Copies of this chain bind each other. A is one copy, B any other.
């Protein structure tokens, strides 16, 4: 466990059927180790990541005591549990509690005592089911905070409730020590009230991709990642679960031996029970999980299973290269590929996709298709004869045929995503497929002209690759230097490359590849930079807002640090103390021009 975070509150959930009162009963008020907010001169307005579509505010400050805040929800049971989970993980944990609390709660008089949550949509979800998050799910919400009505959240759908809580968690500030040290108890505050936020995102798909094949991350870390994503209003975790290096996905009914042989160790497997837990945790945060089985390339781990060894070309075994000339990236032979001439290849795909279908309720499954090294096919001396029999003209057509066949093995109702870059522009897809484009932003227009009837998720390598620029496997320069700074990430605007109204763009995603990553460094490399993408894609297209962005990035980073997720600052202490002193008219034009 990287960090111990204990909720300070216990909940008495009184199920009153569609009107549930969450009494936040406090058993500890041990704030002796409370996070010490530094004496930062806060900006004179609420700082919320992503920047809301519309916000009005004033000058009042309201106080909150977690001991006595009543959360009143008009929600079905499952959603109430979700709200409870969010408040536990994202609001209460501001207080780093004493591990051996000796005090009991002594509520102080406050003037913000209620948080009310109402679903306004016509269709109320079933009591016992979490509503799925879909591409057209409505994430809009309103949040008002004043001394008369308290904090009030209303949203047409559950996703909006979660986004509103993401905002609420960021306007609750203070150190739990009382307002400016004057009050006792464990007071927090909401400044700049009355606040009215009316909010909705610009792009529907805002994702982070995690690669758990090159490096295994604990369930605890993935859970914390989801919690932090929810605060920044990310709504997709794209789980690149397997690859050449390891196969940590537990297959139970199809091919358990692939997991057994393909995982780094038997402990470094995501059991189906754990995956259910992760998917459930994400759904309670209104976050989708999109699973991926990249094929036919990136499949070496499958060949570690004796049954499937024969279908993997360029297996590049540990004890010797079967194809010495195969090129390599970041120290790993790159890349094995499934042989489409074997029926076993489709046994495998069918098994994996069927199990993925039962594990992941999302409508999307990612089929990969990335970086197929067609020279590997030369390894099979019988392949060309087989291709002639099948009327397949060349290796490009072979890959196209393979991916078409793979798509037929998806469970019913699933939509296919594929990786796309300049090297895969020979591929053919079916109308309605989704391309996840990781190539250079300069070729984005070519992409949409080549595939005009597809949808796109944009993850351009020159703006969004978070793992890059920390050096390569040999200590040399990273292939994708320089650093993608928060500003670089924020400056990617789809409409600079494609028509502003291009509805084929579903959204964007920052990938976190793990060739040179580890559990201890993960959050440091993701946050707060990734939130700059969420910020840009949520908020309305607007003029550059460098000052505001810096304040949001700093504030978001401090929020995570206060919750025990260690992340770097993107700004100097000087600028944080002296709000906007470093920016605005003081920024040298030469620096602005070099962004």
The answer to whether A567 and B473 have CB atoms under 8 Å apart is no
A481 in the interface (beta carbon within 8 A): yes
- A469's nearest neighbour on chain B, judged by CB, is B483
When distances are taken between beta carbons in the complex, the residues of chain B under 8 Å from A476 are 485, 487, 591, 594-595
B residues near A453, Cβ cutoff 8 Å: none
Q: Are A572 and B470 in contact (CB under 8 A)?
A: no
- Say yes or no: is A431 at the interface (Cβ < 8 Å to chain B): no
A521 CB contact (under 8 Å) in B214, B471, B568, B572: B568
Q: A264-B39, A566-B566 are in contact. Are A473 and B521 (CB under 8 A)?
A: no
Query: 1/0 per position for A236-272, CB-CB distance to B under 8 A?
Result: 0000000001100000000000000000110110000
Interface residues on A, range: 35 or more
Whether B215 lies near A573 (C-beta < 8 A) is yes
Contacts of A516 in B (CB 8 A): 568-572
Rounded to whole Å, the gap between the CB of A525 and the closest CB of chain B is: 8
A contact residues vs B (CB 8 Å cutoff): 1-4, 33, 36, 38-39, 99, 214-216, 245-246, 264-265, 267-268, 318, 328, 330-332, 469-478, 481-483, 485-488, 490, 514-518, 520-521, 524-525, 546, 549-550, 561, 566-575, 577-578, 581-583, 586-588, 591-592, 594-595
Assess the B332–A214 pair: CB atoms within 8 A: no
Query: In the complex, A586→B594 CA distance in Å?
Result: 40
B483 touches A517 (CB 8 A): no
Cβ–Cβ contact B482 & A577, under 8 A: no
Least CB distance from A470 to B in Å reads: 6
Q: Is the CB of B485 within 8 A of A483?
A: no
**B573 engages A214 (CB within 8 Å):** yes
**With A and B bound together, what is the CA distance between A486 and B587 in angstroms?**
33
Chain B: minimal CB distance from A548 (Å)? 13
Asked if A318 meets B521 with Cβ closer than 8 Å, knowing A471-B485, A478-B483, A572-B330, the reply is no
* Chain B nearest CB, measured from A587 CB (Å): 6
Contact B474 A591 (CB under 8 A): yes
Judge whether A470 and B487 touch: CB under 8 Å. no
A475 contacts B482, CB within 8 Å?
A: no
Sample of 7 A–B contacts (CB below 8 Å): A1-B33, A214-B574, A330-B572, A475-B595, A476-B487, A516-B572, A518-B568
